[in-house]
Structure formats: C-alpha cells, structure tokens
C-alpha cells in the first residue's frame, strides 16, 4: 500500500469537531462512482495541511483503503499562478504505478486513463492549496469508495453540494492556543507569568503558525523575562511577519485584482479591529458593488475572517491580527502618497454620520451641538430605521433597540475613530462622536474608553475655540463619568468650566437648552455628593428654564430629576407625584431608556410607601426594558431591588436568584 503523506505534526491541538465531522461523513457516505470531498478551508497558518494529513492517517487506520493515500501540493504545479491539471494527473498516474512512458500525452486521454485507473479504487487523496473548485474536479477519482481531502485558503463554493463537507477552520480559541504554546515551549516562565502568556496568545490571534514562531522565540531567549520577550516578539512580528506563512500571504496578495489589493492595503488603517461592508466602502473609495466583489475576493483568497458577519447587527468582518500586520507591511511598501490619509478622512466622516443616526434613533431627538453630517457620496448609510416613522409602539421600540445594539457592537470602532479624528485635527468630528458615545455610556457606565473619548472632545472644543456650545456640552458630558468614578474634584472642575462658558452663549433655543443642561449637571454632581436639597433646587431651576423655551422633553427630564431628589430627601409623596408625571410623559414620547429608569425610581418610592405589588410591576417592566437595551448596569440594580422586595415578603429563594443574577450581570459587564 502506497502512502504519500507528510509526517504528523509534533504539536497539534483542538480541531476535534472537524475531525469528528470528517469521520462521520466518511462512515455515512454512499456513492458508487463519485468520491466524498472533505474541503478544509481557512487563512494561511491555521494548520489546514496538518489537519488534512491527520484526517488522512486516521482514515487509513480506521477504515479500509487498501489502495493507500496520495498527496499533491497543487502550488508545486503552478506557473505564474496558473495550474496545469494535466501535469498533476501525470504525477498521480505515476503514483498509481503507471510507467512514465505509458502516461497519455493529451489532456483528455490522460483524464480517461486516470478515471479508468481509479474506477473502483479505495484510496485517500490529499490535494493541498487548491484555489478554485475547477482545479479539483479533474483530479477526483472515479470511485465512490475513495475520499478526497482538499485544502484551500478560501471556500470552494463551486464544488457540487452534497458531495463535499465544508470544514472551515477558525483561529484557535484562547484555551486551545494557550495549550499549543505550552506544548511548544515547556518553560517554567509560562506558569510564573500568566498575563504575559495571555499577551502572547492575543498577539498571535489564534493562528497556530504564529504560535509556533512565538514558541521558538521564547525558547531561544531563555534568560529574558517573559514580558520583555513579548515586547520583542511584537516588534519582530510587526517587522517580519510570521515565518513560513508570509510568502503564502504574499502570493495571495499578488494574485488580487487592483480593487481587492487596494482594499487589503487600506483595511489595517480602519479604526478598531472590525469593519463592515459599508465602512470598507467608505474607506476604499470603491463603489458598493466593487467593494462587495473585492471583499468576496479577499474571502476566497483566505485573507478575511467572516465569523462575525451573521452574528452582528452591523455585519462585522475582520483581519486576523498577524494578517493585519501583513496588510500593513504591504501598505507601507505600496500605498501611494495621500492614499491612507484620504481614506481615513472619508471613513471618519462616514462613521460620524452613522453614529449620529444611531444616536438619534436610540435616544430620540434631543439636544446635540453638531448637526448631522452630510451623506458620503456613493456610500449608503447603515440599515437602521427611524423609530419616528414606525406605525406602532412595538415597532418604534424594536427600531430604537436595534440602533442601541449597533452602538454597542460598534463601540470599539467609534472609540478608535475618536482617537483617529482627534489625531488628524478633525475637531468637529471629534466633538460629534462624543454624543453617541455618551448615549452608549448611559446604559454601559464605568468604561475607561468612554472617558478618553469625552476628554478628547473637550480638548477639541478648546483647540477649536469660538464655539461656547461645544465647551458647555463636552465639559458636562465628561463630568458625569468622572463623578460616577468618584472623581468629584475633577468633575467639579469640568462643571465650573461649563458654567463659565455659559456667559459666552447667545439667546438661541439651542443655547438656552445648553444653559438648562449645565444647571442640571451641576445639580447631578451635587446629588453625587449627597447634597440632595441643593440638587433639587438646581433641577427646579433647570425645569423653569426649559418651560420658558419651551422644551417639553427638558421639562419632563427635570421633573424626573426632581422626583429622584425628593425621594432622597424623604419627601415620598412629592416624589411619587413627580415621578408618576415623568413616567407617563416618557411613555407618551416613547423614550425607552427613561421609561425604564423612571419606572425604576417610581417603583422604589412605591415600595417605601408600602405598595409592594405596584412596585413589583414597575420593577419587572424596568427589567424588561433594561434587558432589551442590554444595559447590564440597569438590569443589575433592578435585580437588587427585586431581591429586597422578595426578601421582605419572605420569598428567600427568589431573592437569592435575583442576587445571583445581579452578580452575574455585574461580572459580565465589568461592574464589580
């Protein structure tokens, strides 16, 4: 029995699901004349060839393949990127004991000879590095008792459905990647510095080839602390890439069309780790259909990670970390003057507009200090819908929830976009981005990235000069996460700066709203200090300012603030009336977050007044709205309140369930 398989890898982890699927498919396969095809696809460096070899050896061990296992690397038969299948057939026929001088000369005759030779054969054929299904089809044995294992960088969509099992490889999860690194290195430094190990694993982004490079690097530098090794390894990978795989990515890049190559060079300059079809279109300057084609080409070339595509509202995609480094190196060598800067400015302006739309749809129309940016020509907006155009309350709520989810999914892109906009001196865009980030932070507080976005907005407002509204708004926004983190002195400095800037405002409706907002934030800071009587006076003054404009939403918001402050001062009857008024108004206006929060505050007052049943109904309503908005902060405090309510009623088991749920939410959202 002839076996032409590469040696087994020394270290191999995970991929158990893929191997199990392959073996099950072989067991269940029923065909008389067509072989089963196992299609193993994924980016270079994921271990496709190693997995294919392991599957082939397992098939030889566990099944009857008396004609052995043949292996061909199709890249060995390419000339200028073009494969001659006739040459591959000649090698396969030689492996099947056909003498060289007996191999037919014409391609058609050679195909017939191969089919005749493999008819009824029971063999395993490994075809490595296929690029298209059309390269594989002529090489299929004419036997349903054979199995063909094909590896390719991208999916081979043209293989006949039902005849192929798709085994698409993803990067290794962190646990498996750590296991592989430990097998390669076997060094006491790993156990002594688990944080450095996590840094290495994250740097390699689940790519086995990169983990092998990292492992060799750690073994080579045995006297260095692991933290230093990580720093040096990062520099090495940035400069040289992943040895053994870099040339594979180079070959894939050099075969790309001009639009796909342009997009690949620009993607590492996209802020954040993920991008979408529309953001890639904005970045590249290609038209939408051309960008679609380019992304599909990158997918076929194994230069794209699409695992997030169907899991996110935004439709996210990414370049795996080491591959992103390769794209950046190609960009440094080949990008034309101004190519990257122009692309980033286009993208920043498109992203700002999308964030502004999502903010408006998630939070409703409210005070903002930067007008909605114009559409970017040729690039569509994200597929979010305006809740105000919906016909019923349920549809309005669903649209607002979808917009809030988009903000949550894209938050890291927006954080990175803020850094990019500020670095490029785009002050209008930097200030504009602080508004949707503020909306996101209301449901997801205590994020350090949010504080940095708001700090940059203040800095841009100061750097820009001449816009008092920006100064008031950005300083008030920054003050809130500061006092929520108990940085009360720093928060006071921002509020003082905002109050000073009020003198520079005019008498427009927007400026009068800003003045009322500044007074409200001053009152909220006083509340954070426990000075609730003084805070109540500020909220009352802010409500008077909104009534004079008039601004009904502002009046409702200050009514809500006054209700909370009255509850804190112990005036429960006044609190109940104020919060009931605010709650009814928010319901009428469809303000999702404030419906939930005013329901929570009103429930707390009713509980203290002895109306436990009414309180429970409002708490449960508030919990449902928090869950829909994915606000772990709000949901956790509602669970706390329900635990207290159940404990008071003697329902101890139910109370403990709520406490467990609250702890889990805080842990999951980093709020412990």
Does the pLDDT of residue 140 top 70, yes or no? yes
**Better pLDDT: 320 or 136:** 136
DSSP code string of 634-646: HHHHHHHHHHHHH
**Conformation bin of residue 82: beta by default, left when phi > 0, alpha when psi is -120 to 50:** beta
Distance CA 371, CA 214 (A): 49
Q: What band does 108 get if pLDDT is binned at 50, 70 and 90?
A: very high
Q: Residue 7: is it exposed, middle or buried by C-beta count within 10 angstroms (0-12/13-18/19+)?
A: exposed
- Cis-peptide, bond into residue 116, ω within 30° of zero: no
- Choose from 30-39, 396-405, 519-528 the range with maximum mean pLDDT: 519-528
Q: How far is CA 195 from the centre of its chain?
A: 23
For residue 82, pLDDT beyond 90: no
Kindly state the percentage of the chain with pLDDT values over 70. 99
Residue of 42 and 374 predicted with greater confidence: 374
Other C-beta atoms within 10 Å of 130: how many? 24
For 246-250, 456-460, 537-541, which range has the lowest pLDDT when averaged over its residues?
246-250
Q: Across the strands, what pairs with 147?
A: 36, 124
Q: Which residues contact 142 (CB under 8 A, 6 or more apart)?
A: 33, 114, 115, 116, 118, 119
- Could you tell me the sign of the dihedral formed by the alpha carbons of 585, 591, 596, 598, in that order? negative
pLDDT at residue 170 tops 80: yes
Distance CA(22)–CA(14), nearest Å, equals 14
Contact 141, 121 (CB under 8 A): yes
CB atoms within 10 A of CB 18: 19
Lowest mean pLDDT: which of 462-476, 570-584, 626-640? 626-640
Is the CB of residue 389 less than 8 Å from the CB of residue 365? no
C-beta separation of 477 from 434 below 8 A: yes
Counting Cβ atoms within 10 Å, is residue 502 exposed (0-12), middle (13-18) or buried (19+)? middle
Mean pLDDT along residues 599-603: 97
Tokens of 635: 């949901």
**Average pLDDT taken over every residue of the chain:** 92
Q: What does the alpha-carbon distance between residue 280 and residue 433 come to, in Å, rounded to a whole number?
A: 19
Q: What is the DSSP letter of 3?
A: B
For 92-127, letters b (16+ CB in 10 Å) and e give bbebbebeeeebbeeeeebbebbeebbeebbbbbbb
pLDDT band at residue 139, thresholds of 50, 70 and 90?
very high
Looking at residue 483, what is its pLDDT? 96
Residue 162 main-chain phi, psi, to 5 deg: 95, -20
Dihedral sign (CA 334, 336, 342, 343):
negative
What's the confidence (pLDDT) of residue 162?
Answer: 61
Long-range contacts of 421-425 (CB under 8 A, 24+ apart): 421/348, 421/352, 422/456, 422/459, 422/460, 424/341, 424/344, 424/345, 424/348
Note the pLDDT of residue 476: 97
**What Rg do the C-alpha atoms of the chain give, in angstroms?**
31
Asked if 636 contacts 600 with a C-beta cutoff of 8 angstroms, the reply is no
User: Two tokens at 237?
Assistant: 């990978």
pLDDT band at 436 (very low <50, low <70, confident <90, very high): very high
553 vs 134: CA distance, rounded Å: 63
Q: Name the phi and psi angles at 505, rounded to 5.
A: -75, 160
Average pLDDT of span 458-464: 97
pLDDT digits (tens, 9 = 90+) for 514-529: 999 999 999 999 999 9
pLDDT (0 to 100) of residue 36: 93
Residue 546: what pLDDT?
A: 97
Whole-number Å distance between alpha carbons of 409 and 387? 19
Please tell me the predicted confidence (pLDDT) of residue 174: 92
pLDDT of residue 218 exceeding 90, the answer is no
Rounded-to-integer distance, Cα 292 and Cα 250, Å: 22
pLDDT at 161: 60
CA distance 417 to 349: 10
| Tokens at 310, concatenated | 């169907």
pLDDT of residue 672: 67
pLDDT at 651: 92
Q: Are 311 and 249 in contact (CB under 8 A)?
A: no
CB 294 within 8 A of CB 286: yes
Q: Is the pLDDT of residue 571 over 90?
A: yes
Distance CA 654, CA 642 (A): 9
Are the CB atoms for 579 and 596 separated by under 8 Å? Answer: no
pLDDT (0 to 100) of residue 544: 97
pTM assigned to the model: 0.82
- At 163 the pLDDT is 67
Residue 191 has pLDDT above 90, yes or no: no
Examine the pLDDT at 293 and tell me if it is beyond 80.
yes
Residue 88: helix, strand or coil by DSSP?
helix
Q: What is the mean pLDDT of residues 225-245?
A: 83
pLDDT at 290 over 70: yes
Say if strands 78-79 and 82-83 run parallel, antiparallel, or are unpaired: antiparallel
The pLDDT of residue 91 is above 80:
yes
Q: What is the pLDDT of residues 148-159, one digit of tens each?
A: 999 998 888 777
Look at residue 347 in the predicted model and tell me its pLDDT: 98
d(CA 326, CA 267): 11
Stretch (H or E) spanning 69: strand 69-73
Other beta carbons within 10 Å of 401: 19
3-state secondary structure of 468: helix
Pairing of β 78-79 and β 274-275: unpaired
Would you say residue 531 has pLDDT above 90?
A: yes
């Amino acid at each position: 029995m002839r076996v032409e398989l590469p040696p087994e890898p020394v270290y191999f982890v995970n991929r158990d699901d893929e191997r199990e699927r392959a073996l099950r498919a072989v067991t269940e396969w029923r065909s008389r004349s067509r072989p089963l095809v196992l299609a193993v696809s994924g980016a270079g460096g994921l271990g496709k060839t190693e997995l294919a070899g392991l599957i082939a050896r397992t098939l030889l061990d566990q099944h009857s393949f008396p004609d052995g296992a043949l292996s061909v690397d199709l890249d060995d038969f390419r000339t200028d990127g073009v494969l001659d299948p006739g040459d591959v057939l000649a090698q396969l026929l030689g492996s099947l004991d056909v003498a060289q001088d007996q191999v037919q000369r014409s391609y058609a005759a050679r195909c017939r000879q191969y089919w005749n030779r493999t008819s009824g054969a029971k063999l395993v054929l490994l075809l490595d590095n296929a690029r298209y299904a059309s390269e594989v089809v002529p090489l299929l044995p004419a036997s349903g008792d054979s199995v063909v294992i094909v590896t390719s960088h991208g999916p081979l969509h043209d293989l006949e459905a039902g005849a192929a099992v798709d085994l698409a490889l993803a990067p290794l999860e962190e646990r498996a990647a750590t296991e592989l690194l430990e097998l390669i290195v076997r060094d006491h430094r790993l156990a002594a510095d688990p944080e450095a190990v996590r840094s290495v694993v994250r740097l390699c982004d689940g790519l086995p080839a990169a983990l092998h490079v990292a492992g060799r690097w750690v073994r080579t530098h045995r006297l260095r602390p692991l933290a230093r090794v990580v720093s040096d390894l990062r520099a090495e990978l940035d400069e040289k890439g992943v040895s053994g795989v870099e040339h594979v990515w180079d070959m894939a890049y050099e075969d790309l069309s001009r639009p796909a190559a342009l997009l690949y060079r620009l993607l590492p300059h996209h802020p954040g780790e993920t991008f979408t079809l529309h953001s890639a279109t904005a970045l590249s300057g290609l038209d939408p259909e051309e960008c679609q084609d380019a992304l599909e080409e990158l997918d076929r070339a194994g230069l794209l990670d699409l695992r997030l595509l169907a899991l996110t509202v935004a439709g996210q995609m990414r370049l795996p970390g080491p591959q992103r480094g390769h794209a950046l190196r190609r960009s440094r060598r080949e990008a034309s003057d101004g190519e990257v800067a122009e692309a980033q400015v286009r993208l920043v302006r498109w992203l700002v507009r999308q964030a502004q739309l999502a903010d408006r749809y998630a939070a409703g129309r409210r005070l903002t200090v930067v007008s909605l940016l114009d559409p970017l020509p040729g690039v569509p907006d994200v597929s979010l819908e305006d809740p105000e155009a919906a016909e019923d309350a349920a549809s309005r709520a669903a649209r607002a929830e979808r917009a809030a989810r988009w903000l949550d999914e894209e938050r890291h892109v927006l954080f990175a976009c803020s850094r990019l906009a500020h670095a490029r001196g785009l002050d209008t865009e930097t200030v504009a981005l602080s508004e949707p980030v503020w909306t996101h932070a209301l449901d997801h507080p205590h994020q350090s990235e949010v504080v940095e976005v708001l700090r940059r907005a203040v800095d841009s407002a100061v750097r820009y000069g001449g816009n008092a509204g920006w100064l008031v708004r950005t300083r008030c926004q920054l003050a809130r996460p500061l006092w929520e983190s108990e940085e009360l002195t720093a928060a006071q400095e921002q509020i003082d700066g905002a109050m000073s800037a009020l003198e520079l405002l005019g008498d427009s409706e927007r400026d009068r709203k800003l003045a009322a907002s500044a007074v409200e934030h001053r009152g909220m800071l006083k509340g954070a200090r426990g000075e609730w009587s003084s805070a109540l006076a500020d909220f009352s003054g802010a409500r008077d300012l909104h009534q004079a404009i008039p601004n009904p939403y502002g009046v409702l918001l200050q009514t809500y603030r006054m209700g909370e402050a009255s509850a804190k001062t112990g005036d429960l009857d006044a609190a109940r009336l104020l919060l009931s008024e605010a709650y009814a108004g928010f319901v009428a206006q469809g303000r999702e977050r404030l419906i939930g929060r005013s329901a929570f505050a009103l429930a707390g007052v009713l509980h203290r007044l002895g109306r436990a049943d009414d309180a429970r109904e409002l708490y449960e309503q508030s919990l449902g709205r928090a869950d829909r908005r994915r606000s772990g902060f709000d949901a956790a405090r509602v669970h706390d309140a329900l635990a207290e309510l159940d404990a008071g009623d003697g329902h101890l088991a139910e109370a403990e369930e709520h406490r467990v749920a609250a702890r889990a939410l805080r842990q999951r959202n980093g709020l412990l």
